Chain A
Amino acid sequence: MPSFFPFYYLTIEAGCLLASIVFLRRESISAWGLQRWYLSLMVLTELAGTWWISTQGSKNQWIYNLYLPCIPVFLGLLLYRIINTLVPTHRNWLYGSWLCCGTAFVVETWLKDGIAVYHYQTRLLVNSLISLACLYYFVMQFRVPGYRNLKRDPGFCWVLGAACFYFGHIILVQASAIIAEADETIFGLTLHTALYSIILTSLYGLWTFAFYLQRPAPH
């Protein structure tokens, strides 16, 4: 069962990548179009990480550390664009968040003598910034006047998926000690694995739906 889950994660990630390639093929170099590159990078990282640990037998955290800076860059760009369509937002917020994440990454690399050990603090900062941006977007949906069909809005669905995963990931990481102490299983899965699977499925499920909504209209 435990070996099933890397396969499950890879499958849903690959499914989401396929959806982005199919539905966003006309987006070129826009923030939406870059999602195809981000998801490709993520799938490659997962494949590399799985390959490394199964063939080399040693820790693969350095691979995920190399992938870590890509998260605020790609996701930050699209989040900024989605929020900007709702309420004018200064680019300095985006640049500032990149600066914070970059600084945290460098400091943690220096403190941990390299990238062999996973940079949990940087990851926590990235998760927090993304969650705050998503929360800001939701608040603006209440404050900005006018009606929008949110159920068919690609930006809303994408932000909801990101909020579910990154907020949920913060909770899971902070509660990991308690979850480990509980040492319980749900349908044969450890509690952590089950909850992580739920938030990961909601992320890629909502992102796939968002890409579908963002597809070019038929002529």
Chain B
Amino acid sequence: MDICLLLATTGPTLGVKFLVPFLLLTISFPVLIAFFAIREHGHRKEREDELEKERSAAKIAQLTTALVASQAEAERIGRNLHDSVVHHLSVIRGQLALLAEYPDAFEPSMAKEMEDQVRKVLTDVRNQSHSYTGHTLENFGLLEAIKKETEDMRQSFGKDIVLTIGDFHDHYLSRSQAEHLYYMFMEGAHNALKHSGAAQITVCLDTNGNEIQLAITDNGCGFTFGEPSGVGLKNILYRSIVSEGSYHVHTKPGQGTILHIKLPKYAKTRHTGRTTGRSGANLPGAE
């Protein structure tokens, strides 16, 4: 219906009632668009705030994990130093005390024995320093580091440690994953050597599809496994979380222990079926 005809038939009062609101509504069209734009951006802010909260929570969790792992590492260092270095130094101190009291009792063989003790202390401290600072890992790669550590443990503890390497190359893991796996291996192997009383320990490193698997098996006394309460197992737990892997402990009292650690293969090497031809001397770039 023609608006002018409507106004003519309905009178001026009705024309104002329809016309003014219609014109105001039409004129306020930009205001309506602006209102919806402001509302849309308000929703975006809420979403961004939520994402930021999630990122912060994840960051805090990661920092907490790293802190706990560091504390566990420090405790292990202290324990190992106490077990090895302090023992040898105590023997040397005893011998020197004896010499101080009975200087006539000195024999060349005693000097040789003390020199051997000092050499052992130096070797222990140097080896532990290299392992704690990741010196071997940094310079020779994960595979060589594990081989060297295994040999050192054989000599230090005098136990039969069998190392089996399957399909594994250093570039299968990123630098940080390799570091975590190295320290988890150290923790698991030291636990087996010190607490299991096992005569033989087997370490197996292999690849299964897109997973790297490390298994440490001993035929020792076993234990009742619950929530990880020991420092070593907590360290393994947190490192496995940080490196997006997992670990399992299969054990029963009197039936030995299997520590099974799995890590995802480094993304760039998945499904390629190819190696990059790198030597074990250099680890792949950091993730």
- A residues whose Cβ falls under 8 Å from a Cβ of B: 134-135, 138, 141-142, 145-151, 156, 160, 163-164, 167-168, 171-172, 175, 178-179, 181-184, 186, 191, 195, 198-199
Contacts and interface: CB of A to CB of B under 8 A. Distances in A.
Contact of B27 (A145, A149, A195): A195
B37 A142 contact: yes
B44 A141 contact: no
Nearest to A163: B30
Nearest to A139: B33
Main secondary structure of the interface of B (DSSP, over half): helix
Interface in B7-22: 7, 12, 15-16, 19-20
A167 B38 contact: no
Contacts of A171: 23, 26-27
9 contacts: A134-B30, A138-B34, A141-B40, A149-B45, A150-B41, A171-B23, A182-B16, A195-B23, A199-B27
Contacts, number: 80
Contact of A160 (B12, B24, B31): B31
Contacts of A156: 34, 37
Nearest to B37: A141
A178 B41 contact: no
Most buried by B among A145, A181, A199: A181
Interface string B22-66: 011011111101101110110011001000000000000000000
B3 interface: yes
B20 A160 contact: no
B4 interface: yes
B19 to A, nearest CB: 6
A141 B35 CA distance: 12
Given A175-B23, A182-B16, A191-B19, 16 more contacts: A135-B33, A138-B37, A142-B40, A146-B44, A147-B41, A148-B41, A150-B41, A163-B34, A164-B31, A167-B30, A178-B4, A182-B7, A184-B16, A184-B19, A195-B27, A198-B27
